[in-house]
Structure 1
Amino acid sequence: MKKVIMIGPASVSKGGIATVIANFEKTFSSNKVKIHYIASWKEGNPLFKLWMFVKAIMQLCYLAITQKIDIVHIHTSQKGSLYRKMIFINIAKLFRCKVMLHMHGSRFGIFYDKQPRFLQKTIVNHLDRLDHIIVLSDAWKAYYENLCDTPVTVMENAVEVPLSNPYTNTSKTIVTFGNVSQEKGSYDLLRAIQSLGAAYKEYEFIFYGIGDIPTAEAEIKQNNLTNVTLGGWVESNQKQNILENALLHILPSYHEALPMAVLETMAHGIPNISTNVGGIPQIIENQRNGLLIEPGEVTDLKQAIADLLDNEATRQEMSGKAHQAVQAKFSIDACNRKWEELYATI
């Protein structure tokens, strides 16, 4: 049996990486692979975060000394997350473990280009020491293959998919999941809602997530957007009810890998309006199971929302195709089988 150490944020933390790890903890089961989870980060004050990091290092060292570890599977994004994970790469290699780096960062290319030359070289040297790199889309596969010599495999995120489509086509609630920020297109969406005007006031738009809440609150108040609510962070026990009562999900991001929010909502048959970036076009087929626009195009975003709100039949058709698309390619069971096969090859 292959023994795998998985390192990343605690599964109860906020964010997409934590959701991916939580899905592993909840659903991955194999007679050929055993995963031990190490949490290297969790929300808290700086001293607590430092303790989580140091404790994770000690746990990795202890397990590597006392057991035969085959693979260390490390989740990371960019910036500080990557530099912290370099320490785990070096420790794992010191104990002659195979190392797999799972890249989730949607802005890695921008981050890398801004680094001084010596840090770029350090990053590439660490990437070249790896045994495998995991990415979320074909575009990122091409990027890393051009950057380093390590083998790269696309492994899409996965979600639990209801057996039957639970979509409620008569709902008046439109949701968006993710940090409230310019990068996620939050302010573009607020401007689009303002442009929709009084004709669509019966629909409530709820922004679920953390981020730049004061700026969003100020814009909502300034433009008298009475049908907009900031719903805060959603705990896992709240999400099911939200997903079963949402009419649309909107994520007009400027940068993405393969967002869990899009997969989770489509798994529940919710038509998505999103942007043609990252791995999103791998799951949303424009005009078939959702709508895609270019980032920053507020007029197009407003028109896309209006088009779906005005056409119940189109929503229903997209809903069925969205549910089917996720069930076919992004279900937990299908992806867990792919993970088992990949671990066996490393």
Structure 2
Amino acid sequence: MKHVIMIGPASVSKGGIATVIANFEKTFNSNEVRIHHIASWKEGNPLFKLWMFLKAIMQFCYLAITRRISIVHIHTSQRGSFYRKVMFIQLARIFRAKVILHMHGSRFGIFFDNQSPWLQKRIIRQLNQLDHLIVLSEAWKTYYENLCDTPVTIMENAVQVPQANPYNNQSKTIVTFGNVTKEKGSYDLLHAIHSLGSTYQEYQFIFYGIGDIENAQKHIHENQLTNVTLGGWVESEQKQTILDSALLHILPSYHEALPMAILETMAHGIPNISTNIGGIPQIVQNKQNGILIEPGDTDTLEQAIATLLHDETTRDEMSQKAHEAVQAKFSIDACNAKWEQFYQQL
């Protein structure tokens, strides 16, 4: 049996990486591969975060000594997340385990470009020490292949997919999952809602997530957006109820890899309006199972919302295609089978 150490944020943490790890914890089951999960980060004060990091190092060393570890699978993004994971790359090398770096960061390219030439060389050196890089889209595969010499493989995120499409085409609730920030297009969406005016006042727009809450609430109040609510962070047990009652999901981001929010909503047959960036076009097919726009194009965003709210038939057709697309390529079972094969071949 192959023993794999998986390192990343605690599965109960906020964010897409934690959701991916939670899916591994709940669903990955193999007679040939055993995954040992180590949480290296969790929300809290700086001392708590430092303790989580040091504890993860101790757990890593204990497992590496007491088990014959074959692979270290490290989840990371950019900035501090990447620099913290360098320690585990070095430890894996000491214990002669193969190292996979699973890149989730949608802004890694910006992060890399903002580093000094000396740090850029250090980052490339770390990437070249890896046995494999995992990315979420073809665009990111090309990026890392041009940046370093390590083999790169695309492994898409995956979600639980209901057997039957549960979409509620009569709902009046429109949702967006993710941090409430300019980068996620939150203010572009607020601008589009304002431009729609009273025409679609019966529809409630709910922004689920953390982030720039105070400024967003101020914007909502100043523009008298009475049909907009900030729903806060959603725990996993709450999400099912929300997904069962959402008409549309809107994520007009400026930077993304392959958002779990899009996969989760499409798995429930919810049509998406999103942007033509990162790995999103791999799953959202424009005017087939959703609508894609350019980041920052608030006029087209407004038109897309109006189009789908006006056309029940189009929503229903997109819903069926969205559910089928995720079921065919992004289901948990299909993804776990790919991971088991990957681990075995590495």
Give me the TM-score of the superposition, normalised by structure 2.
Answer: 1.00
Structure 2 counterparts to residues 176-215 of structure 1, below 5 A: 176-215=176-215
* SS of residue matched to 1:245: coil
Partner of 2:41: 41
Q: CA deviation at 1:265?
A: 0.1
Q: Which amino acid aligns with 2:337?
A: R
Partner of 2:291: 291
Matched, 1:249 2:235: no
**Which whole-Å deviations, capped at 9, do the CAs of 1:246-298 have from their partners, x for residues lacking one?**
00000000000000000000000000000000000000000000000000000
Partner of 2:130: 130
Q: What is the alpha-carbon distance in structure 2 between the residues aligned to residue 118 and residue 275 of structure 1?
A: 34
Q: Which amino acid aligns with 2:42?
A: K
Structure 2 counterparts to residues 1-346 of structure 1, below 5 A: 1-346=1-346
Across the two proteins, how many residue pairs are aligned to each other? Answer: 346
Q: What is the alpha-carbon distance in structure 2 between the residues aligned to residue 95 and residue 154 of structure 1?
A: 26
Q: What is the alpha-carbon distance in structure 2 between the residues aligned to residue 72 and residue 276 of structure 1?
A: 33
Q: Which amino acid aligns with 1:243?
A: L
Q: Which amino acid aligns with 2:84?
A: R
Q: What is the alpha-carbon distance in structure 1 between the residues aligned to residue 204 and residue 54 of structure 2?
A: 44
Q: What is the alpha-carbon distance in structure 2 between the residues aligned to residue 132 and residue 344 of structure 1?
A: 13
Q: What is the alpha-carbon distance in structure 2 between the residues aligned to residue 310 and residue 248 of structure 1?
A: 12
Q: What is the alpha-carbon distance in structure 2 between the residues aligned to residue 320 and residue 62 of structure 1?
A: 48
Q: What is the alpha-carbon distance in structure 1 between the residues aligned to residue 66 and residue 166 of structure 2?
A: 48
Q: CA deviation at 1:195?
A: 0.3
Q: Which runs of 4+ in 1 moved over 4 A?
A: none
* SS of residue matched to 2:323: helix
Q: What is the alpha-carbon distance in structure 2 between the residues aligned to residue 168 and residue 262 of structure 1?
A: 17
Q: What is the alpha-carbon distance in structure 2 between the residues aligned to residue 290 and residue 31 of structure 1?
A: 39
Identify unmatched segments of 5+ residues in structure 1. none
Q: Which amino acid aligns with 2:293?
A: I
Q: What is the alpha-carbon distance in structure 1 between the residues aligned to residue 309 and residue 277 of structure 2?
A: 24
Q: Which amino acid aligns with 2:158?
A: A
Quick one: percent identity of the two aligned structures? 75
Q: CA deviation at 1:67?
A: 1.4
Q: What is the alpha-carbon distance in structure 1 between the residues aligned to residue 254 and residue 112 of structure 2?
A: 17
Q: What is the alpha-carbon distance in structure 2 between the residues aligned to residue 338 and residue 139 of structure 1?
A: 20
Q: CA deviation at 1:323?
A: 0.0
* SS of residue matched to 2:322: helix
Q: What is the alpha-carbon distance in structure 2 between the residues aligned to residue 200 and residue 191 of structure 1?
A: 14
Q: What is the alpha-carbon distance in structure 2 between the residues aligned to residue 324 and residue 207 of structure 1?
A: 26
Q: CA deviation at 1:66?
A: 1.5
Could you say what the CA RMSD is over the residues aligned between the two structures, in angstroms? Answer: 0.4
* SS of residue matched to 2:207: strand
Q: CA deviation at 1:62?
A: 1.1
Q: CA deviation at 1:90?
A: 0.3
* SS of residue matched to 2:69: coil
Q: What is the alpha-carbon distance in structure 2 between the residues aligned to residue 122 and residue 344 of structure 1?
A: 30
**Which whole-Å deviations, capped at 9, do the CAs of 1:155-203 have from their partners, x for residues lacking one?**
0000000000000000000000000000000000000000001010000
* SS of residue matched to 1:70: strand
* SS of residue matched to 1:229: strand
Identify unmatched segments of 5+ residues in structure 2. none
